[in-house]
Amino acid sequence: MDKAFHQGMKIIEELEKSGHEAYFVGGSVRDTLMNRAIGDIDIATSATPQDIQRIFPKTIDVGAEHGTIIVLTAENESFEVTTYRTESQYSDNRRPDQVTFVKSLFEDLKRRDFTMNAIAMTKTGTIVDPFQGEKDIKRKIIRSVGIPRERFQEDALRMLRAIRFASQLSFSLESNTFLAIMNDHERLHSISVERKTAEIEKLLAGIGLKYCLELLVKTKLYKHLPELSDKKSKLLELSTKNLCNLNSRSALWAAFVHVLEIEQIDDFLTSWKLPKKVIKAVEHNIAIITNVQKYGWNKELIYQMGLKQSIEAHEVLVALNPDTETSNLHIENLYKSLPIKNKKEIVFNGHDLIKIAGEKRGKWIAELYQDMELAIIHGSTANDRAVLKEWVEKWLQKYEKSY
C-alpha cells in the first residue's frame, strides 16, 4: 500500500476504536489498483460529522450538513472524512439538495458515479468491491454504477466526469454509459460553470485527450460548455495535440484558447469563471506566443514578460508544436544575458536627469526612459552613469531638433 495511506490508517483506527466503520474510498483506491500516483485520500465512515469532530482534536467543517469534515493529523496532513450518505438531485448544480446519512458502506458506494470509483479499501488493504470496479479497471472501462440514464438524471455532471476520466486514465466508455450520454447530453446545460470548468481542466491535461475530445463532439456535450457550441472543428483540431505535460492552469488554458483561435480571451475565460489572475497569465502567454511566432525569441520580449512567464509560454508552444527546436535553456540564456532585469536597475536616476535637463517636466521624460531602457537591453549603451549621461545629452539634442 502507498506510504501516503499510513496517516489515513491512523484516522481509520481512531474511528474504529470509537465503534465506527471507516474505509478508504474513491480516487485513491482506484489509483492504487492501477498503480498510479494517488491524489487526495478520502475516507468514508459510519460516524456522523459530530462524531468525527468529537473524536479528532483538529478538524475543519467544510460541509457538515453534507457529511464532510476535514481531519488534520498531528503532521498537519489533511483528509476528507465523509459520513456514509446517499444524495438526491443537485438543483443548484453544486451541492446535492438533500443528503441522507446511511448506515451501510454499500449504500454509500452505490451513490458513487462509476464502478472504478465505487471501491472501498480497509486499513489493511482488503478491497470491498460490490460493483466489480476492479474488473472494469482491468478492462479500462468507465461504467456507471447502476442504470446510467438514472445516474445522469440525478447529476448531469457525471456525463462530463465520464469523459474527463476517459482522458485522465485513457479508459473507454462502456457502451450503455456512452449511449446514455448521447441521449441525455442536453442535461449538462443546467450544470454550473464552476463544476464544468473543474472537469474540463482535468480533461485537457489527460493522456487520452484525443479520444475524449472526439467523445465530447460525438456525444454533443461540447454544445453545453461555455462558448464552445460553434467550435466543433477546432476541438477536433485540438485532439491532435497532447497537453499532458502542461502543469499550470494558465498554460493549459493558453493552449486551449490558442488552438480554438479565441480572439476575446478575457470574455471567453470570464465565461468559464476563471480567476482574474489566471486570465491575465493566459493573456500574457498568448501575447508571448504571438510575438514569438512573428519575430522569434528575443531579449526585449523576455525582459518585458519575465523569465517565468516566458518559460511557461514556451512550454505551451512545445506542446502545440513538438518539433519546436528552441530549448528552455536558450530562453534562460537570453534572460541571463540581459544587462538589466527591470527598470529599477537602471543606474541613471531622476536626480541625474534634472542635473542635465533642468526642472522642465513633460512626457519627454517617459519617452527618454523608455528609449534608455531599450538601449540598455539591446546593449547599445552600457548601464553606467557616465556613459548614460552622454547618451542622455545626445538624446536631448535629437529631441530638441525634432520638436
Chain residues in the site for Mg ion (CB under 5 A)? 27, 40
CB nearer to Mg ion: give 28 or 310. 28
* Residue carrying C-alpha cell 531638433: 401
Among 12, 46, 51, 113, binds ligand ATP (CB under 6 A): 113
Could you tell which of ligand ATP, Mg ion, none binds residue 322, using a CB distance below 5 to 8 A set by kind? none
Q: Supply the minimum distance, in Å, between the C-beta of residue 345 and Mg ion.
A: 45
27 is known to lie in a ligand binding site: yes
Which string of b and e fits 133-171 if b means at least 16 CB within 10 Å? bbebbeeebbbbbeebbebbebbbbbbbbbbbbbbbbeb
d(CA 222, CA 92): 21
Three-state DSSP string of 65-108: HHCEEEEECCCCCEEEEEECEEECCCCCCCCCCCEEECCCHHHH
190 is a site residue for ligand ATP (CB under 6 A): no
Among 85, 158, 224, 231, binds ligand ATP (CB under 6 A): 158
d(CA 146, CA 111): 9
Q: Could you tell me the end-to-end alpha-carbon distance of the chain, in angstroms, rounded to an integer? A: 77
260 CB neighbour count, 10 Å cutoff: 16
| Phi, then psi, of 43 in degrees rounded to 5 | -125, 135
274 three-state secondary structure: coil
Quickly list H helices, 124-221: 133-139, 148-154, 157-169, 175-184, 193-204, 209-218
C-alpha cell at 51: 462524531
Could you tell which of Mg ion, ligand ATP, none binds residue 157, using a CB distance below 5 to 8 A set by kind? ligand ATP
184 is known to lie in a ligand binding site: no
Residues that bind ligand ATP (rule: CB under 6 A) add up to a total of: 13
Give the DSSP letter of residue 382: -
157 is a site residue for ligand ATP (CB under 6 A): yes
Could you tell which of ligand ATP, Mg ion, none binds residue 362, using a CB distance below 5 to 8 A set by kind? none
Q: Which stretch binds ligand ATP (CB under 6 A): 113-121, 208-216, 244-252, 370-378?
A: 113-121
195 is known to lie in a ligand binding site: no
Q: Supply the minimum distance, in Å, between the C-beta of residue 118 and ligand ATP.
A: 6
155 is a site residue for ligand ATP (CB under 6 A): yes
Q: Supply the minimum distance, in Å, between the C-beta of residue 350 and Mg ion.
A: 54
Could you tell which of ligand ATP, Mg ion, none binds residue 155, using a CB distance below 5 to 8 A set by kind? ligand ATP
Query: Site residues (CB under 6 A) for ligand ATP?
Result: 26-27, 39-40, 42, 112-113, 117-118, 155, 157-158, 202
Which residue positions form the known binding site for ATP?
27, 30, 112, 155, 158, 161, 164
